[in-house]
Structure 1
Amino acid sequence: MDYSAAVAYVESLGKFGIHLGMERIQGLVAQLDHPERKIRTIHVTGTNGKGSVTTFLANMLQQAGLRVGSYISPHFVRYNERICLDGQEISNGDFAAVTERTKEALEKYLAAGGEQPTQFEFITAMGFLYFAEKQVDCAVIEVGMGGLWDSTNIITPEVSVITNVTLEHTDRLGKTIEAIATQKAGIIKPGVPVVTEAEGKALTVIRAAAEANHAPLYVYGEDFTTEKLTSFMEAQTFLYRLGEKEMEAVIHLPGEHQILNGAAALTAAEILRDKHGVPDEAAMLRGMAAARWPGRLERIHRDPDIILDGAHNPSGVTVLRKALDAYYPQARRLFVFGMMADKDVSQVSDILFRPEDTIYTVLAHEGERSEKPEKLAQRLHKNAVPMEDLTAAYRRAVGEAGPEDVVIVCGSLYLIGTFKELGLDR
């Protein structure tokens, strides 16, 4: 199987949709001799911030000299982005080889009467197999959706991280904060330390799950804290405190929410250091400073500033709006905006846009789930202009922007992926 055939095969699995549950992934990894049991892991879930925490942790462990895997989703352009080793996405050759071996295992599983896995379950098995074959020292694993019934939840990690918890995927995870927090708390394992940024009702659920599992719990604002020192698009500095420990960290991910994500990652790293002696403080600080995370307040150009952000839910765009207000309080804002039709467009619009903003609506992604530009413009209840072509909308926004203005391409991770696939970020 060559790379193109492997991608075509993985693509074909998309027709099986999304079905939460553990039987299929458990059956598949059993055929692969349980690669997930052969590696140390860190498990990360939450509504927002999963990817940032994953990249912070992976970078800290790399800086400590470890061989580190990371598993994320979704990808922007290539499936390879989901499975990384020491910060580099899996090569085409390795992707093809791992796909073929996982496909062989799947065929044995199906022949024995197993149920067809989903695409995400198949890629998850690929990731575990690849990390085991590469003999990673540790792999940082990001949950796909929820936690309890997510296919990544077959691991017993060294530490679990739950970032924030807000309403998301209510059709699958539940209609209330408590229900969604229950899904997130499903990654908590007996005796395994848990780090969380959650608060309110969500924290109550997580605290109860940690107590039931006799899992040590580290809560932001109680067990670890931060103090912002500086915050700019280029870099942020903050003081991190855990008990009597204190360190000053620099990160290059903008937005004050990233200080919380950085603190959660530092706390997880401290737990690992207590258990295994690594990473040390110097490696932690180098890793924090080295971390980059595309598609989240990612600035790709200056004068005018051009920002890509995949925020697609109310909590995500709240973070984006706060960052724009902090970093560009007086700038004219021009948006190239596309969303999926099943998202809360009205609430997102109310949070994100000001009456004076310029908005060009576009198709976020080729597919039935994407809201049509005309209908999206109507749903915004703003002075939005629908445009059929993303490239044309982007060039129009940039052409209208002055050197002190800011252009924001946002509304969907799918939109950012399409933008990058078209090469508009270069």
Structure 2
Amino acid sequence: MQWKLFALNTLSVLYLWQHEGERKQLKFINVNEAIEWLNAQRSTGQGNSVERVKVALAFIDNPHIGLPAIHITGTNGKGSTTAFLRELLLSQGLQVGTFTSPHIMTFKERFTFNGELISDEDLLFVIEEMVQINDYMEQTEFGRLVFFELYTVMMAIYFNMKKPDVCLVEVGIGGRRDCTSVVNAQLAIITTIGLDHGDKLGNTVEEVAEEKSGLIKPNSLVVTGLIDEGPLTVIENYAKEMNSEIYRYQIEYGMSDILNHLDQGSTFNFWQTSTEAEETQQNNFAIGMLGLHQVQNATVALQAFELWMRHIEQPIDWVIAKPALQKTNWIARMERIHEEPFVYIDGAHNVAGLNALKQLVTEYFPHKEIHILYAGLDSKNQAAQLPLLSTFESSSLAVTEFEHPNAMSLEQFKELVLSEATHLQQPVQFVENWPEYITDFIFTKNADQMLLVTGSLYFVSAIRQHIVKEFQKISN
């Protein structure tokens, strides 16, 4: 039996059986083995991530060029905004690809098409392509691609294969120097600006805004979320330089008449204006996701949705768009994973996220006895985050450790508690075995009590996987 080569979209090849038409597996037996290969890649090459990714993409004929794309960045709110926007676009019959990070349950979450995870077959094919690409890169001065660089090229290959009507591309970190900046997006979304990843993005909100503004392409559209005047001015100036049209939260568009329905979500109205004298309003939007910040994320998504539909000259059917917005969910963002007693998980991993979570807990669960379990990374500002957690209206605050190379250890937390003792407004418990702690909570607490698990998304991912495995059910 002989092998035959067939070109695919001018960027890759499929090896097929000449008669059966069956794809040949070149290197990997299964997806887990392929992902292990991805994680094992190391490089000592030259250049930054953007340069390295450009070289790799050029080797395979630049599959990212010409992709219809919406680029999403922001200190907080990227994932939820992407989720809302995806459901809105799907409701109008569009084919939608999404690229997000990090994953919570499975690596395949990073690449979806029409809301479905990338198939094992497609993922294996794309990673096989990466083997050839990294073999080539090793021969260049740039060296092999690693981690998010690999994922970005995989995204370009996958979307080129699937040909979506629109690609929602979420940055890894930042904007200008994020390797996803190679995508020439027709619309950029900047959700929020805050101080996070200071070693990479800057020490002031203006510096962070400048970095994130780097996603804005010439003659494109820009949507900004709730952003303070200083960093917003930076974004406005950059958009003007790019000759791009900007739509600012609570200026060109916004929301009003919010009603909080506690654990059932919120309702609100959405408005837009092009001049001070001209304003239009769509009424009676609802979301099931909890928190004022999620209403804000949904509003940002609605503005981006309206602009994209106008861009492609397709009218919006609001009758089916509104239910799509309401049904949107995003795992590990104030997600209820157990009932009676409630167990919620939320990846609030920085000060802005924890402030939003505090407001949510106060407003949405006034009659619950709250217990908090927290773990985070030592790369975050834990000296600010732990005292903030101690101000929550909770009956107990516990910290723990989890498996991750950058996770805060219990010893580090104990040192932090000692050094920040005067700033802590309640005692801190130290939990050595978090699976035992969670199981004990579920079997000993009543419906008036609630466990809130928060911190690093890597931590809440581990919690979610544990609950699914042990209790076989996620409650919605």
TM-score after normalising by structure 1: 0.94
1:245 counterpart = 2:261: no
- Distance 1:237-1:192 versus aligned 2 partners, 3 A rule: same
Partners of 1:356 and 1:64 in 2: CA distance: 43
Deviation, structure 1 residue 203: 0.3
Kept in 2, the 8 Å contact 1:44–1:161? The answer is: yes
- Structure 1 match to 2:255: 226
- Structure 1 match to 2:179: 151
For residues 233-259 of structure 1, give each alpha carbon's deviation from its aligned partner in whole angstroms, at most 9, with x where no partner exists.
222111000123311311111111111
Deviation, structure 1 residue 424: 5.2
Partners of 2:339 and 2:371 in 1: CA distance: 14
Residue ranges of structure 1 left out of the alignment (5+ in a row): none
1:421 counterpart = 2:470: no
Secondary structure of the 1:125 match is helix
- Structure 1 match to 2:410: 373
The correspondence for 1:359, drawn from 385, 397, 406, is: 397
Secondary structure of the 2:452 match is strand
Kept in 2, the 8 Å contact 1:333–1:408? The answer is: yes
Deviation, structure 1 residue 356: 5.3
Partners of 1:278 and 1:362 in 2: CA distance: 50
Kept in 2, the 8 Å contact 1:401–1:407? The answer is: no
Partners of 1:14 and 1:379 in 2: CA distance: 33
Deviation, structure 1 residue 374: 4.1
* Residue correspondence of structure 1 range 26-45 to structure 2 within 5 A: 26-45=54-73
- Structure 2 match to 1:203: 232
Tell me the amino acid that sits aligned with residue 149 of structure 1.
Answer: R
Kept in 1, the 8 Å contact 2:42–2:145? The answer is: no
Partners of 2:204 and 2:292 in 1: CA distance: 26
Secondary structure of the 1:25 match is helix
The correspondence for 1:121, drawn from 146, 149, 164, is: 149
For residues 38-93 of structure 1, give each alpha carbon's deviation from its aligned partner in whole angstroms, at most 9, with x where no partner exists.
42110000000001111111111111111110000011132111011111111222
Secondary structure of the 1:37 match is coil
- Structure 2 match to 1:57: 85
- Structure 2 match to 1:294: 331
Partners of 1:362 and 1:38 in 2: CA distance: 46
What is the CA RMSD across the aligned residues, in angstroms?
Answer: 2.0
- Distance 1:148-1:60 versus aligned 2 partners, 3 A rule: same
1:183 counterpart = 2:217: no
Deviation, structure 1 residue 109: 3.0
Deviation, structure 1 residue 337: 1.2
- Distance 1:207-1:323 versus aligned 2 partners, 3 A rule: same
For residues 81-123 of structure 1, give each alpha carbon's deviation from its aligned partner in whole angstroms, at most 9, with x where no partner exists.
1011111111222111101112212222332443322210101
Larger deviation, residues 218-227 vs 232-241: 232-241
Secondary structure of the 1:208 match is helix
Kept in 1, the 8 Å contact 2:288–2:328? The answer is: yes
Partners of 1:276 and 1:266 in 2: CA distance: 15
Kept in 2, the 8 Å contact 1:237–1:251? The answer is: yes
Kept in 2, the 8 Å contact 1:31–1:106? The answer is: no
- Structure 2 match to 1:217: 246
Partners of 1:112 and 1:394 in 2: CA distance: 50
Partners of 2:364 and 2:50 in 1: CA distance: 44
> Which structure has the greater CA radius of gyration?
2
The correspondence for 2:133, drawn from 105, 111, 121, is: 105
Partners of 1:48 and 1:113 in 2: CA distance: 35
Kept in 1, the 8 Å contact 2:371–2:394? The answer is: no
The correspondence for 2:160, drawn from 132, 136, 150, is: 132
Deviation, structure 1 residue 298: 0.7
Kept in 2, the 8 Å contact 1:305–1:405? The answer is: yes
Aligned residues: 424
Tell me the amino acid that sits aligned with residue 230 of structure 2.
Answer: K
Q: Which runs of 4+ in 1 moved over 4 A?
A: 14-17
The correspondence for 1:10, drawn from 38, 55, 59, is: 38
Secondary structure of the 2:343 match is strand
1:403 counterpart = 2:451: no
- Structure 1 match to 2:220: 192
Partners of 2:372 and 2:443 in 1: CA distance: 13
Secondary structure of the 2:176 match is coil
Partners of 1:172 and 1:424 in 2: CA distance: 38
Tell me the amino acid that sits aligned with residue 313 of structure 1.
Answer: N
Q: Percent identity?
A: 27
Kept in 1, the 8 Å contact 2:44–2:143? The answer is: no
Partners of 1:333 and 1:45 in 2: CA distance: 32
Tell me the amino acid that sits aligned with residue 110 of structure 2.
Answer: R
Residue ranges of structure 2 left out of the alignment (5+ in a row): 1-27, 274-278
Kept in 1, the 8 Å contact 2:66–2:184? The answer is: no
Secondary structure of the 1:77 match is coil
Deviation, structure 1 residue 147: 0.4
Partners of 1:180 and 1:14 in 2: CA distance: 28
Tell me the amino acid that sits aligned with residue 238 of structure 2.
Answer: A
Secondary structure of the 2:397 match is strand
Kept in 1, the 8 Å contact 2:263–2:365? The answer is: no
Kept in 2, the 8 Å contact 1:42–1:140? The answer is: yes
TM-score after normalising by structure 2: 0.85
Deviation, structure 1 residue 177: 0.8
Partners of 2:438 and 2:379 in 1: CA distance: 24
- Structure 1 match to 2:99: 71
Deviation, structure 1 residue 189: 0.9
Tell me the amino acid that sits aligned with residue 120 of structure 2.
Answer: N
- Distance 1:287-1:279 versus aligned 2 partners, 3 A rule: farther
Secondary structure of the 1:44 match is strand
Deviation, structure 1 residue 208: 0.8
1:270 counterpart = 2:306: yes
